[in-house]
Structure 1
Amino acid sequence: MPLPRPASPRALWADIRTFTAERRPHHWVALALALCIPLGIIFIFDLDGRTNIAPGPQLIYVESWPANRTDDQIKAQQKIDQAWRDKANKERQEMFKKHDEQLERLGL
């Protein structure tokens, strides 16, 4: 089976002119709506992607320690840090317990 001959650009433009000449006005309105709706959705997604929803920059403070500190100094600092973490965890547990009690009173 032979393949069809490639069409020339003149034939393409003639086909486009014939196609557009046969369309009624309501077809053009439908075409405009059919193009506007997806373009509008893409525009909204693009606009939403440009909004600043990411958290701002965070400062992280790093303590500087002398290189010649002893193991006892390191262990003492670790105990202080662990006590601080335990206190923060305890406060967080109490906060969740308080919220749980409030939800229990509401029947949830």
Structure 2
Amino acid sequence: MMPTGFFTRFAPIRAINDLRHFMALQKPTHVVFLVLSLMLTMAVLLGFVIDSHVERPYKRNIVYAENWRADRSEAEIRAAQLREMAVKTRRDIVYEKKQADLKAQFKRLDDKLEKWGI
């Protein structure tokens, strides 16, 4: 006994022949515009597929923690804080210098654009 579902009556060769006969009855301009519309639709869909793929670089998030002795003296703690403060101050000076350089570059660009009337 054969199943009587929809796809049991479906034959790919008959479907292709049916489509070919239908398209033969259409005007040539209809066929041209059908092909153009299908190509445009596929181009838009392909653009979305290509644009949706974004590479996300793997970025490590490593957190280092110091392990201090429990019997440190106050003098050792203050000396460590002074060393850390000196490192932070140097880092801040470098950061401020980079910010000042960047600000100067933008100022030069703004002056050039102002000179050109923009």
TM-score w.r.t. structure 1 length? 0.57
Q: CA RMSD of the aligned region, Å?
A: 4.0
Q: How many residues align?
A: 92
Moved more, 39-48 or 80-89: 39-48
**1:71 and 2:81 matched:** yes
Structure of greater relative contact order (alpha carbons < 8 Å, 6+ residues apart): 2
Structure 1 unmatched ranges of 5 or more: 1-7
The amino acid that maps onto 1:75 is M
The verdict on how the C-alpha distance between 1:21 and 1:86 changes in structure 2, with shifts beyond 3 A counting, is closer
Partner residue in 2 for 1:104: 114
The one of 95, 98, 118 equivalent to 1:85 is: 95
Structure 2 unmatched ranges of 5 or more: 69-76
Residue 89 of structure 1, CA deviation: 0.9
Residue 39 of structure 1, CA deviation: 1.3
Residue identity (%): 18
Residue 94 of structure 1, CA deviation: 0.9
Distance in 1, Cα, partners of 2:91 & 2:102: 17
